[in-house]
Chains A and B, each alone.
Chain A
Amino acid sequence: DAMVIQNPRYQVTQFGKPVTLSCSQTLNHNVMYWYQQKSSQAPKLLFHYYDKDFNNEADTPDNFQSRRPNTSFCFLDIRSPGLGDAAMYLCATSRGQGSHNEQFFGPGTRLTVL
C-alpha cells in the first residue's frame, strides 16, 4: 500500500543535541509538510515543500530546518532541541497545493528531550 512512513516512531535526545527526523512517501506526491503537535493541542504547521520550493511558516523558530533531497524523502532537523520542543512531529503529503487536495499523514515521531 502506498503510504507515508516516519522513522523512528520514538526518538529521545538530549537538551541541545541535534536530532533529525525522517519521512518518506511512496505516493509520489509533490507536496510534503511537517507539523508539530504538543500534548493535548492541535497539529501546527511548521513548513512545507512544493516540489523543491521551501515554504516556512512565519512563526516557525529558526531552530527548525528541513531538507528534501528528492521527491520521496523529507527530513526535519532540530539544531538545538530544548525541553519545549518535546512533541509529536507529523509528516504529511499532498498531490498538489489546491484546496481540494487531501493530505495523507504518517504515524508521527514522538520526540522526548532530556
Chain B
Amino acid sequence: GDSVTQMEGPVTLSEEAFLTINCTYTATGYPSLFWYVQYPGEGLQLLLKATKADDKGSNKGFEATYRKETTSFHLEKGSVQVSDSAVYFCALSDRGTSYDKVIFGPGTSLSVIP
C-alpha cells in the first residue's frame, strides 16, 4: 500500500541555518503530496502542497518539489527562525479515491535555537 518515509528527528539547528527534511513516498498511482506542520500546542495545519510531478509547493519561505523520478518531496528553507520550531509531517493523498484519504509520515521534530 501507499506509504511515506521521512528522516528521523529530532533536528536541532541554529537560527538562520539551512533546513532540509527528507521525504520519500511509495504509491501505486500519482498522488498529491503535502507538508503539514504542527506548532507546539496547536493542531496540524497544511504548510504546502504539490499535485503533479515537477510542481513546487511553497509557503512561509519553505519549498518542496515533487520529484517523480526519485519519489521524493524534500522540504527546504534557506534560513530558519526560532518560530519554525515544530513537528513537520510529509503526507500523500491518493487522487484515485473519492475522498481525501491522507497518509502521513512519522513526523520530524525541528528545534531552532537562537
Are A and B genuine complex partners?
A: no
> A interface vs B, CB < 8 Å?
none
